[in-house]
Amino acid sequence: MNFRFNNEVDIPLPDALLKGELIVPLSAEAIIIFSHGSGSSRNSPRNRMVASYLHQHNIGTLLFDLLTPEEELQYQTRFDIGLLTQRLYNATRWLQKQPTAQGCSFGFFGASTGAASALKASIRLPEIEAVVCRGGRPDLVLQDLPQVKAPVLFIVGSYDTDVLALNRTAYNKLTCRRRLDVVENASHLFEENGKMEIVEKLAAKWFEQHLLMADHHVHKATL
């Protein structure tokens, strides 16, 4: 597969220098920025699975560490949704300035606590045109959800009963286009055989629908 960019990157932000990996297929028209959960990183095997699948569907990805190694050691920092949201916001602004991202649409993929920061950051970034949350904790930003405008897809395992209940509550708080897909016989991390493959397909379909469809580009051209 040919790429116009495929390399590790340093993301200089006002308060930190963050490590990331930016991969953009040669003719990609969209890039998804990942926001991982607490205790995870850009090397999350599940997020990397989703990213690889998106590459096969001609969608670029940015996976990056929301925290420095020192910050990652602090329990409170890992759950500081305000800080994580600001980091995601700043990283997205950085990406938008990169030559390889010119002309691309943008979306967020958030996992666990990363879903909260993705939803909150999308409010400040109207150019984010779709959000996917895997096993997310949208309840951490419940008061902000009515302000979300980007179409949102929640993906939750049927065995993940507590998180599923939280996602149902969040779903009802949203006023944007939204969908809740429950993956049967799957737990929080979708470790069961074949379940992450279902997550990949659901996510790719959502992003294709909202970022790559022909009528989307016609609409953008008329703005």
Counting every residue, how long is the chain? Answer: 223
For 62, the token pair is 């940015």
Domains of the chain in start order, with CATH, are: 3-222 (3.40.50.1820)
Tens digit of each residue's pLDDT (9 = 90 or more) over 59-110: 999 999 999 888 888 877 778 899 999 999 999 999 999 999 999 999 999 9
pLDDT at position 156 over 60: yes
Task: Count the Cβ atoms, other than its own, within 10 Å of residue 178.
Answer: 18
Mean pLDDT for the stretch of residues 208-219 = 67
HSE-up of residue 132 (Cα within 13 Å, Cβ side) = 26
Contact of 171 with 90, CB cutoff 8 Å: no
Taking the C-alpha atoms of residue 66 and residue 86, their distance in angstroms, rounded to an integer, is 9
Contact of 217 with 191, CB cutoff 8 Å: no
User: What one-letter code names the amino acid at 159?
Assistant: Y
At 184, is the pLDDT very low, low, confident or very high (cuts 50, 70, 90)? Answer: very high
| pLDDT at position 69 | 87
Taking the C-alpha atoms of residue 87 and residue 160, their distance in angstroms, rounded to an integer, is 28
3-state helix/strand/coil string of 111-125: ECHHHHHHHHHHHHC
Taking the C-alpha atoms of residue 79 and residue 24, their distance in angstroms, rounded to an integer, is 30
Q: Could you tell me what percentage of the chain is helix, strand and coil, using 3-state DSSP and rounding each to the nearest 5?
A: 45, 25, 30
